[in-house]
Amino acid sequence: MKKMTRKLLNFMSTRLGFVLTLLCFYWLKTMWAYTVDFNLDIQGLYQAFLAFVNPIPLGLLFIGLALYFKRSAIFYGFSIFIYILLFIWLFSNAVYYREFSDFVTVNTMMASSSVSAGLGEAALGLFRPWDIIYLIDFPILGYLMYKKFIRVDHRPFNKRASFAITALSTMLFTANLFLAEIDRPQLLTRGFSNYYVVRALGLPAFLGYSGNQTYQANKERSKASAEDLKPVEEYIQNHYAEPNKDYFGIAKGRNVIYVHLESFQQFLIDYKLQADGKAYEVTPFLNSLYHSNSTLAFSNVFNQVKAGKTSDAETMIETGLFGLNQGSFMVNYGGTNTQQAAPFILSKNGGYTSAVFHGNAGSFWNRNTAYKQWGYNYFFDAPYFTKQDDTNSFQYGLNDKIMLKDSIKYLERLQQPFYVKYITVSNHYPYTTSLIGDEIGFPLAKTKDETINGYFATANYLDSSVKALFDYLKKSGLYDNSIIVLYGDHFGISQTRNPNLAPLVGKTSETWSNYDNAMMQRVPYMVVIPGMDKGKIIDTYGGQVDMLPTLEHLLGIDSKNYLQVGQDMLSTQHQQIVAFRSSNNFVTPKYTSFNGRTYYTQTGEEITNPDETIKKELDDIRNAANTQLKISDAIQTGDLIRFYKGNDLGKVDIKKYSYNHSFKALKKIEEEKGDQSTSLYSQRKGESTIDLFDAPSYRALHPEQFESTSSSEDSSESSSDSSSSSSSSSSSSSSSSKQ
């Protein structure tokens, strides 16, 4: 044994041996990531073999470059440097995957500065105890070299031998690519899935693949011309769905209030969490809206986001176009592309004033720039609200009840009709971190995943926040003249966590499938129209890209003259083909295709041997879904709206927009309009409605749960410790509202 150890250490003390040692460590770490952190959906021995060998070719190529250096200091320094880079890329992807169920792309890295604000503690929550495995080799190598068990080899490596190593690694990668193409033809040209690329070729190859996609996208934009509009306009015309006469224009002229339900999935509607022998209704108020005669509630609307997540959802509801296949449209194109989004359209069709309320940094997802291109008149971000601290906020922004309370002083000053969007944050990963003090009380689920356990509590908090907003709208008089749209932006529980969620939704972890993953992509979409009595639950299948044309038709605006790829979900011509953002993934009332598997939608039964009829149906659906993505991408990456002359909207002049003194601007408009001002504040003759907003804490709403607590507890002091009790005035703690 000692003899073998000595021989091994002697080999590791050679330059080639040192390179192969680093390669071996990198391979072991990659196998660990493939097994523990990534879900590559490996099917069969062939795919397992590809995953087993794919770290070797490029790992050997990159680390082996050190063999060309003669000086020992440069050789060892360069080889370790390359090894560290490979490690950072691997570990970054492992951590990123835990939340996003995807891999880091070039666009993601380019956007990192725009999305980093507010991450903080959430990133720490993504680390796991087993991450020590990724680091343990560094002290081992350091110890062996310090004790001279691994000695420095001062002998230069033969140049021909160095080239032979490079040639070998290149040949191995070529063979790897050949074998990957056998498993999945046109792997790199058709863009099946990031999973497929990593599974077949490894993470370094995926980085090159992603970089090429980014380059091609930028090249597409630079070479696009008005001629590229012809197939787009033809598709828009043929894809257009006529409005339903029963609903067209029924909300014409009303205020539009969007409520963004952060990380909220459809399964939460009507869900009751079983805890301690009791059933706790998670979202009682949203449930009441869902079943209301004043609500058009959709039960089969799916999120269509990718890495851009919340920003993707916003892009779709505002523009009727998809986000990007890689990265965030708002980050990469939001500040440069010509756009005709909902705020701009409504400003030209009804004279709408528009605003966004969001208790986080305006630079997050590049909102402060993208919103100008969309035509938002005002953007009230973190500086306009109560100063954030540990008692009222977390890394993603001010808690919802406080943000909503603070927004009233601005909302009541907006000229009507207005188009506003509330972006909530408290139901955001990592769940429960936003809840302290009197907001704690809703029971936690009991699974081995803390993220899942806290998800229901923050969803309940969001529910009571939305109720407080609705109560205010009714008290203030805004409710009857408004239409309120509520939508979930994306999944709250990622695919990697779904097996742990399975028992809570009547499934088993062992039988959880990609069909279940697909069905968990459902998000709420509810349109509340006060005074309407023909509300109902609608089973039509649709996606977030369909929300804008649906809203436009409700407001009496025909969508046919705008470059939007969605369809009105109330139209009888709606095709019910929902394209997920990844190519070849889709859902219809009959078929579901997700992550390479195909199922019958109604039963969840996998289709393994389809007959010719089914194959034809699936091909037609796949082509329709992929064409929709292709047309949207052509518009987005080519910036084609800059050439579009199919309507008289014109272009947004971003120079007219500034978000630095929004409150001052609102008051100035009121003064200029005088008796003609249509703001709520003016209509009430200068009487503010701030005091009409009341958002009781969880403890106040459910005193029966706390009857056993000590009677000596000072309730007022408890209330002051609450993270989100909004009954107290916030105006004094606001940072002068940027006046």
Catalytic residue ranges = 310
β-pairing, 295-302 vs 536-543, is parallel
Q: What is the CA radius of gyration of the chain?
A: 28
Residue 701: left if φ>0, alpha if ψ -120 to 50, beta else—which one? alpha
3-state class (DSSP) for residue 606: strand
Helix (H) / strand (E) element for 22: namely: helix 15-32
Question: For residues 739 and 725, what is the distance between their CA atoms, to the nearest angstrom?
Answer: 26
Check if the beta carbon of residue 332 is closer than 8 Å to that of residue 639. Answer: no
Question: For residues 546 and 641, what is the distance between their CA atoms, to the nearest angstrom?
Answer: 19
Contacts of residue 194, Cβ cutoff 8 Å, sequence gap at least 6: 102, 103, 105, 206, 210, 582
Contacts of residue 318, Cβ cutoff 8 Å, sequence gap at least 6: 341, 342, 343, 374, 548
Instruction: Tell me which residue of 97, 84, 83 sits closest to 33, measured CA to CA.
Output: 97
Question: For residues 204 and 214, what is the distance between their CA atoms, to the nearest angstrom?
Answer: 16
* Long-range pairs of 30-38 with CB within 8 A, sequence gap ≥ 24: 30/55, 30/90, 30/202, 30/203, 31/55, 32/133, 32/134, 33/90, 33/93, 33/94, 33/134, 36/130, 37/94, 37/97, 37/98, 38/93, 38/94, 38/97, 38/198
For residue 501, what are the β-bridge partners?
Answer: none
Question: For residues 737 and 395, what is the distance between their CA atoms, to the nearest angstrom?
Answer: 21
Question: For residues 249 and 416, what is the distance between their CA atoms, to the nearest angstrom?
Answer: 18
User: In a 10 Å sphere around its CB, with 0-12 CB exposed, 13-18 middle and 19+ buried, how is residue 707 labelled?
Assistant: exposed
Phi, psi for residue 528 in degrees, rounded to 5: -95, 120
Check if the beta carbon of residue 368 is closer than 8 Å to that of residue 657. Answer: no
3-state class (DSSP) for residue 331: helix
Helix (H) / strand (E) element for 164: namely: helix 159-183
Check if the beta carbon of residue 623 is closer than 8 Å to that of residue 537. Answer: no
Helix axes 55-64, 203-223, angle to 10 degrees: 80
Question: For residues 505 and 605, what is the distance between their CA atoms, to the nearest angstrom?
Answer: 18
DSSP-assigned states of every residue in 68-106:
G--SHHHHHHHHHHHHHHHHHHHHHHHHHHHHHSS---H
CA 314 to chain centre: 10
Instruction: Tell me which residue of 108, 543, 117 sits closest to 327, measured CA to CA.
Output: 108
User: In a 10 Å sphere around its CB, with 0-12 CB exposed, 13-18 middle and 19+ buried, how is residue 159 labelled?
Assistant: exposed
